[in-house]
């Protein structure tokens, strides 16, 4: 896969941060949630999607995003940046609170239309990733998996990584798109937009 067109004009603005379910906005706009392990590259990918360097705060240190952050895109839907799952360096009770927040959001949030699950292209799916997949499946959410940081792999390794992760998800009954991305190289950004737009257009109760 080559680098793609990155000139898609997107308007994006930070709207609010929520530390609790009740603090989330009550607007009727659809939401596209970005989930994944701590440090997997969620905030970086959001920045790449909206073509802004620093809309979502990123960090070399895991645990940067500690609240649920809502970004309004093109006045038409929210991209939602969630805290990383499984971040080890906070207290157990804080980690569990985030876990509950994220699970509750995926299970109950009426506006949620699409779960974009980020997985590090260099690693196997972890137990936390498999838990995300199973919550998504149980709740019949629309689902897209993005492999992150593929600039760290060569073409052969990328293909192997996609295949491996597709197989694992397939064995859980999830036949879903898996897109190779890199926030650094802006790889897979256009393809991700195409899927987000297509999945947001589809009617249904997902
Ligand atoms: P938390 O908010 O802590 O859960 O992390 P996050 O998932 O939002 O990750 P973030 O975007 O903050 O990125 C974590 C680290 O990975 C940073 O050092 C980024 O620069 C790096 N990173 C993110 N995306 C890429 C990528 O596509 N390629 C490479 N090489 N590094 C990346
Ligand atoms: Mg983050």
pLDDT at 83: 79
The domain containing residue 94 runs over which residues?
Answer: 12-205
pLDDT at 76: 93
User: Is 5 a domain residue?
Assistant: no
CA of 90 to the centre of ligand 1 (A): 18
User: Is 7 a domain residue?
Assistant: no
Q: How far apart are CA 68 and CA 55, in angstroms?
A: 14
pTM of the model: 0.91
User: Is 148 a domain residue?
Assistant: yes
User: Is 1 a domain residue?
Assistant: no
Question: Mind listing the pLDDT tens digit for each residue in 93-130?
Answer: 877 777 788 888 999 999 999 999 999 999 999 888 88
For the CA atoms of 44, 192, 190, 119, what is the dihedral angle to 10 degrees? 40
User: Given ligand 1 and candidates 49, 59, 85, 153, which is best to mutate, with the most ligand atoms within 8 Å of its CB?
Assistant: 59
User: Is 22 a domain residue?
Assistant: yes
Answer whether 37 contacts ligand 1 (Cβ < 6 A).
no
Q: How far apart are the first and last CA of the chain?
A: 30
Q: How far apart are CA 90 and CA 95, in angstroms?
A: 6
Q: How far apart are CA 120 and CA 118, in angstroms?
A: 7
- Residue of 109, 120, 40 whose CA lies nearest to 68: 109
Question: Mind listing the pLDDT tens digit for each residue in 137-190?
Answer: 989 999 999 999 999 999 999 999 999 999 999 998 999 999 999 999 999 999
| Overall domain count for the chain | 1
User: Is 6 a domain residue?
Assistant: no
CATH of the domain at 91: 3.40.50.300
The answer to whether the CB of 79 falls within 8 A of the CB of 12 is yes
pLDDT at 204: 57
CA of 84 to the centre of ligand 2 (A): 7
User: Is 192 a domain residue?
Assistant: yes
The answer to whether the CB of 41 falls within 8 A of the CB of 57 is no
């Amino acid at each position: 896969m080559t680098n793609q067109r990155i000139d898609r004009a997107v308007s994006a603005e930070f709207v609010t941060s929520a530390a609790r379910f009740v603090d989330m906005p009550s607007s009727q706009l659809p939401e596209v949630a970005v989930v994944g392990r701590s440090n997997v590259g969620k905030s970086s990918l959001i920045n790449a999607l909206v073509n802004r360097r620093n809309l979502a705060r990123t960090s070399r240190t895991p645990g940067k995003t500690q609240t649920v952050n809502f970004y309004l895109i093109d006045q038409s839907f929210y991209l939602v940046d969630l805290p990383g799952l499984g971040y080890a360096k906070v207290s157990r009770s804080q980690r569990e609170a985030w876990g509950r927040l994220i699970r509750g959001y995926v299970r109950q949030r009426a506006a949620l239309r699409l779960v974009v699950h980020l997985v590090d292209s260099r690693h196997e799916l972890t137990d936390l990733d498999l838990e995300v997949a199973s919550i998504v499946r149980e709740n019949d959410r629309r689902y897209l998996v993005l492999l992150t940081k593929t600039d760290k792999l060569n073409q052969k390794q990328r293909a192997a990584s996609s295949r491996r992760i597709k197989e694992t998800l397939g064995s859980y009954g999830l036949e879903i798109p898996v897109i190779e991305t890199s926030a650094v190289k802006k790889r897979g950004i256009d393809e991700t937009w195409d899927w987000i737009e297509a999945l947001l257009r589809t009617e249904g109760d997902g």
